[in-house]
Amino acid sequence: MRSQYEPHRATTTDDPVRDRDRDGARARVLVVDDDPTVAEVVAGYLDRAGYAVDRADDGPAALGRAGAQWPDLVVLDLMLPGMDGLEVCRRLRERGAVPVIMLTARGDEDDRILGLEVGADDYVTKPFSPRELVLRVESVLRRSRPAADAGHRLAAAGLSVDPEARRATKNGAELALTLREFDLLAFFLRHPGRAFGREDLMREVWGWDFGDLSTVTVHVRRLRGKIEDDPARPRLIRTVWGVGYRFEPGGAVD
């Protein structure tokens, strides 16, 4: 019987965005999944979309691959033998900044939230469309690199963001932000005093018109933990009940 992940025989007429490194080489994606069928199909779709693909079937192998050649993005299955995807993500984060898209089983909401908490930038639930995964890879990589019109440095309330260098600081100390946390902070700094719903933030920061809005909630909580003096009583990213969130450079507490 055909696997739900087996690619169709017909070729597509799509012309996907082919992300490139600064030196013009193909962007490198590390696919980590212990299911050989899933890994083969995902790798095949990514290769046809113009990416250089490495594969690993468990956590230690993934860390070894990343150590040998640092990827531009990791597609990481949550359920891996020996070392699960959460631990792999933590160890990758200790080594450096790399976007991570997690593959999770449908219905495992707690695990998806944990994945976001340890620094995953996005997730896709199984079973999934390989073409949708490619689109998400393109979206994450596109946002991981500064645009030509990224703009000048943003600053408020002791926070500073340099969009071109992808560097953020608080009172002069560099902040260790994930891709989405950085984009979320930059967006708030560009729009002080304005309230945005989670749907607005999903569209403007993630680039999606649909998706699990808990992703936004988790990233706001993580960002608060890194920029607020007291995350339990946030002064900068304020909750607007019934609406969403608002960035207040003045930082008054209710």
**pLDDT given for residue 119 in this prediction:** 76
Tell whether the torsion through CA atoms of 196, 202, 207 and 209 is positive or negative. negative
Domain spans in the chain, listed from the N-terminal domain onward:
28-144, 154-247
Nearest to 163 by CA among 191, 192, 186: 186
CATH topology match: 28-144 vs 154-247? no
Return the structure tokens found at 238. Answer: 């304020």
User: In this structure, what are the phi and psi dihedrals at residue 224, rounded to the nearest 5 degrees?
Assistant: -60, -40
**pLDDT given for residue 108 in this prediction:** 63
109 pLDDT more than 60: yes
Q: Determine whether domain 154-247 maps to CATH 3.40.220.10.
A: no
CA distance 7 to 9: 6
**C-beta pairs of 37-42 under 8 Å, 24+ apart in sequence:** 37/3, 37/5, 37/6, 38/5, 38/77, 38/103, 38/126, 41/3, 41/5, 41/6, 41/7, 41/130, 42/5, 42/75, 42/130, 42/133
pLDDT tens figures, 119-129: 788 888 888 88
pLDDT tens figures, 136-162: 898 888 877 655 445 688 999 999 999
Counts for the chain of helices (H) and strands (E), in that order? 8, 12
- 90: enclosing H helix or E strand: helix 85-95
Considering only 57-66, 150-159, 209-218, which range has the smallest mean pLDDT? Answer: 209-218
Query: Hey, which residues does 77 pair with through a beta bridge?
Result: 103
**pLDDT given for residue 22 in this prediction:** 45
Query: Hey, which residues does 180 pair with through a beta bridge?
Result: none
CATH class held by domain 28-144: alpha beta
Q: DSSP secondary-structure letter at 195?
A: E
For 38-56, the DSSP string reads HHHHHHHHHHHTT-EEEEE
